[in-house]
Amino acid sequence: MSRVSEIARHGQQIWLDSLSRELLASGRLASLIGNDGIAGLTSNPAIFQQAIARDPAYGAALKALPAALSEPEARFEALALPDIRAACDAFTPLYEQSGRDAGYVSFEVSPSLAHDAGGTVAAARRLWGEIARPNLMIKIPATPAGVEAARQCLSEGINVNVTLMFSPQHVLDVFDAYDAGLARRLGGGGDVGQVRAVASVFVSRVDTRLDPLLEKAAPELGGKIAIASAKRAYAEWQRRYQREGEFDQLRAAGAQPPRLLWASTGTKNSAYRDVLYVESLIGPHTVNTVPEATLNAFRDHGEAASRLADGQEEALASLASLQGLGIDLDEHCQTLQQEGLGQFEQAFAALLAQVGGQVS
């Protein structure tokens, strides 16, 4: 048994944080599903920008696009949406066998819509209709406008992946939006049993930002705050969705809780174990979306064990220590979200320049 596939025994799904035409055509994705138990896939503008730059298959596909298709975003979607459909199809057996609980593929709305709730909803509706796969998730950033849009999409039965979450407040806002969206759908007579969502909490970037601040003041906290924050998010998930409470009515109607998804789990600090953000965050009812390098590292030497629920009191103590050091975690997390949006906007602009500059 693959070390990666052993993670599923602890209730966590591993998704691949990568997509390219080569991944699909070579059979590598099918192999990852069959041998490693990969249970889903995420994409974003940076992933597609790199794939189109590196994968020769896209060059021929670009030349084959009709000259009348001159708008760069439309040209990008003409390349990307077939890949998203093919990836969805590769996961369809798992999606069906799991009762809709696994086998999802995420595609992100344009980063330019991050602060436009109405525009995000319109884009999500269009992409949901054009891709036309029930195991699609529309990826929406956890800005205030994005959270509002996610709530509306869920009320319409559109699966969502709310991304670029960093702070405890982001987690609470997204949980509230999920519950409210499904409640609105149920109140309107809609089926809540078919809707799924993940809440994507970015992990390693938190340590990358805070470690330099902790190096002199509290070096013992280095490399621990991101994991502590994730454990706090999981404790909130447990409180809200594993105990009797406000979700009970939705659960009785067939609704499933959202899953927390750990993103940005490649280790950026070479002093840390290269599978730190995978091993430390394994726990039931969660997802970890990993880049291929991290996946390969875990396959080689990762140790699968359920650790996410352990040490939650210690995690809270570590987070409380930040206040005494004058470090406002929410403020830093808000900055990280803005930086993440900026990075996606830059990647999307580069991507559009790639595909827009090759109109025949």
| Tens digit of each residue's pLDDT (9 = 90 or more) over 157-205 | 999 999 999 998 999 999 999 999 999 999 999 999 999 999 999 999 9
**Mean pLDDT calculated for residue range 17-37:** 97
Which of 139, 224, 231, 268 is the catalytic position? 139
Question: CATH 2.40.37.10: does it fit domain 5-204+237-306+337-356?
Answer: no
Judged against a pLDDT cut of 60, whether residue 12 lies above it is answered with yes
pLDDT computed for residue 157 by the predictor: 98
Dist CA 354 CA 291 (whole Å): 23
Single out the residue of 235, 163, 234, 174 nearest to residue 205, CA to CA. 163
Contacts of 53 (CB under 8 A, 6+ apart): 354
Going by pLDDT thresholds of 50, 70 and 90, the confidence category of residue 1 is confident
State pTM to two decimals. 0.96
Judged against a pLDDT cut of 70, whether residue 358 lies above it is answered with no
Judged against a pLDDT cut of 50, whether residue 294 lies above it is answered with yes
pLDDT per residue over 109-152, tens digit each? Answer: 999 999 999 999 999 999 999 999 999 999 999 999 999 999 99
Judged against a pLDDT cut of 70, whether residue 229 lies above it is answered with yes
Told to judge if 139 belongs to the known catalytic residues of this protein, a careful annotator would answer yes
pLDDT computed for residue 357 by the predictor: 62
pLDDT computed for residue 359 by the predictor: 43
CB-CB neighbours of 226 under 10 Å: 27
Query: Please, what is the end-to-end C-alpha distance for the chain in angstroms?
Result: 49
Going by pLDDT thresholds of 50, 70 and 90, the confidence category of residue 244 is confident
Q: Which sign, positive or negative, has the C-alpha torsion 319, 323, 327, 332?
A: positive
Q: Which sign, positive or negative, has the C-alpha torsion 204, 236, 101, 198?
A: negative
Judged against a pLDDT cut of 70, whether residue 88 lies above it is answered with yes
